[in-house]
């Protein structure tokens, strides 16, 4: 019998050193801000994960681990069950510190200082910040909001920026962060075709892929074609879908054998070949235990309810804010230009000091997000309602 999980109960995270809840960056005492920023859920993990981690902790020995014999098989089975496809087993590799670390390695492997790297913008800030910080040149292809309200790729602009031949690598977030847009097979196929045509390697950050309802149809980049697989790195982790961010693990699909060998060599140099002892176990349980998939489906349904609550609240009580429809993830991209703030810093002051709500500020995702915020809706509906009421009261004060 399927267990009904409780996502309404507010779990007190004070005293747990939660990065999301109790940082004091804005000079306010602990607990005064409602945090809706970093992609960290306020939901207790699925029971089988908690039980497995507790049991392993009770063993009392935490030396260097290796992944279990069926670790990769569990990932492959999950990909098949959840997305209807799976890569070849030999394509799979790992990077313990996480997806961003893996992308940084591939960036330094495949490009030189001064080379151009393209991103669809706005985008997750570590993905574009690592480019200039590593001496590469960031090329931006702006996303647009279509008549249907969804974020769209401007393929004319994208091709114009790729066709010069000096862009070496392109990074996408699939699904898109910050908007929650789930790219279609047709859209991803066009990216793959352009990348192959102009000799551009694609890095597809799919860390949020698990938190998409099965009927929405997430498309892994490697599944587009064998050519697309050989010309890309697809990055996964159970961290976002199952709230395991503190375990810092990632699973990667890198089909090109030479690139994979070099990638694993770089991991060895950095001594980052072995997963966190609890992260490896938690990943296996998340992908292998049916009860965890039930938890995930219920969490997605609950957050979908939160999204609808947000849309309805804005339409009825706070029309100054316009939410971009979020098809996946637990993130929503909100246009706040109707509040009349002149720039992102003034908008930040409104949220932090007047509304006492802490979103991710849109300017963190690039200049296109100047008057946007990203809200994390993986929280109790009671917390969401309280945050929205604070924003409404501040806007109408």
Q: What is the pLDDT of residue 324?
A: 98
d(CA 198, CA 47): 48
Taking domain 1-61+290-397, whether its CATH number is 3.90.1150.10 is answered by yes
Question: Does the model's pTM come out above 0.75?
Answer: yes
Pick one of 3.40.640.10, 3.40.50.720, 3.40.50.1000, 1.10.1060.10 as the CATH number of 64-288: 3.40.640.10
Strand partners, 236: 251
Q: What is the pLDDT of residue 96?
A: 87
Burial of 268 (0-12, 13-18, 19+ CB in 10 A): exposed
Neighbours of 207 (CB within 10 A): 26
∠ CA 254-257-261, nearest 5°, is 90
Structure token pair of residue 139: 């090329």
Q: What is the pLDDT of residue 214?
A: 87
Residue by residue, pLDDT tens for the chain (397 residues) are 578 999 999 998 877 888 888 665 555 555 588 999 999 999 999 999 999 999 999 999 999 888 999 999 999 999 999 999 999 999 999 998 899 999 999 999 999 999 999 999 999 999 999 999 999 999 999 999 999 999 999 999 999 999 988 999 999 999 999 999 999 999 999 999 999 999 999 999 999 999 999 888 899 999 999 999 999 999 999 999 999 999 999 999 999 999 999 999 999 888 777 788 999 999 999 999 999 999 999 999 999 999 999 999 999 999 999 999 999 999 999 999 999 999 999 999 999 999 999 999 999 999 999 999 999 999 999 999 999 999 999 999 8
Q: Yes or no: say if 279 and 248 are a contact pair by the CB < 8 Å rule.
A: yes
Residues 6+ apart with CB under 8 A from 172: 119, 120, 183, 191, 202, 203, 204, 205, 221
Residues 6+ apart with CB under 8 A from 293: 81, 82
d(CA 329, CA 295): 15
Neighbours of 324 (CB within 10 A): 20
Closest CA to 34 of 382, 363, 364, 314: 382
Structure token pair of residue 281: 């176990």
Q: What is the pLDDT of residue 78?
A: 98
Domain boundaries, the chain: 1-61+290-397, 64-288
Q: 160-182 burial string, b = 16+ CB within 10 Å, else e?
A: ebbeeeebbbbbbbbbbbbbbbb
Residues 6+ apart with CB under 8 A from 23: none
d(CA 76, CA 86): 6
Q: What is the pLDDT of residue 215?
A: 86
Structure token pair of residue 181: 């847009």
Burial of 252 (0-12, 13-18, 19+ CB in 10 A): buried
């Amino acid at each position: 019998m399927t267990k009904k999980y409780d996502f309404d109960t507010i779990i007190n995270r004070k005293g747990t050193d939660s990065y999301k809840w109790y940082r004091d960056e804005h000079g306010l005492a602990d607990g005064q801000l409602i945090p809706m920023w970093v992609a960290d859920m306020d939901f207790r993990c699925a029971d089988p994960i908690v039980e497995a981690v507790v049991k392993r902790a009770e063993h009392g020995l935490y030396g260097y681990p290796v992944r279990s014999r069926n670790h990769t098989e569990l990932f492959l089975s999950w990909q098949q069950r959840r997305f209807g496809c799976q890569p070849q087993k030999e394509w799979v590799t790992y990077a313990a510190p996480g997806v961003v670390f893996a992308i940084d390695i591939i960036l330094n492997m495949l490009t030189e200082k001064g080379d151009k790297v393209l991103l669809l913008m706005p985008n997750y800030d570590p993905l574009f910040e690592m480019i200039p910080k590593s001496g590469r040149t960031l090329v931006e292809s702006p996303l647009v909001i279509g008549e249907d309200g969804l974020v769209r790729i401007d393929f004319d602009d994208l091709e114009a920026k790729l066709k010069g031949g000096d862009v070496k690598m392109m990074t996408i977030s699939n699904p898109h962060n910050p908007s929650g847009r789930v790219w279609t097979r047709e859209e991803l196929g066009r990216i793959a075709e352009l990348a192959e045509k102009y000799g551009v390697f694609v890095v597809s950050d799919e860390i949020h892929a698990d938190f998409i309802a099965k009927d929405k149809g997430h498309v892994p980049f490697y599944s587009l074609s064998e050519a697309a697989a050989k010309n890309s790195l697809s990055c996964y982790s159970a961290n976002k879908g199952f709230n395991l961010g503190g375990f810092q693990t990632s699973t990667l699909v890198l089909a090109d054998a030479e690139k994979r060998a070099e990638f694993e060599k770089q991991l060895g140099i950095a001594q980052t070949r072995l997963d966190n002892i609890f992260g490896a176990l938690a990943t296996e349980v998340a992908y292998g235990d049916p009860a965890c998939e039930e938890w995930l489906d219920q969490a997605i349904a609950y957050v979908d309810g939160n999204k609808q609550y947000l849309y309805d609240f804005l339409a009825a009580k706070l029309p100054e804010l316009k939410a971009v429809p979020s098809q996946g993830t637990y993130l929503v991209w909100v246009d706040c230009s109707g509040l009349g703030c002149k720039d992102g810093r003034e908008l930040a002051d409104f949220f932090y000091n007047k509304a006492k709500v802490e979103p991710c500020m849109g300017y963190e995702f690039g200049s296109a997000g100047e008057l946007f915020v990203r809200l994390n809706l993986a929280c109790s509906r009671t917390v969401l309602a309280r945050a929205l009421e604070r924003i409404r009261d501040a806007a109408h004060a």
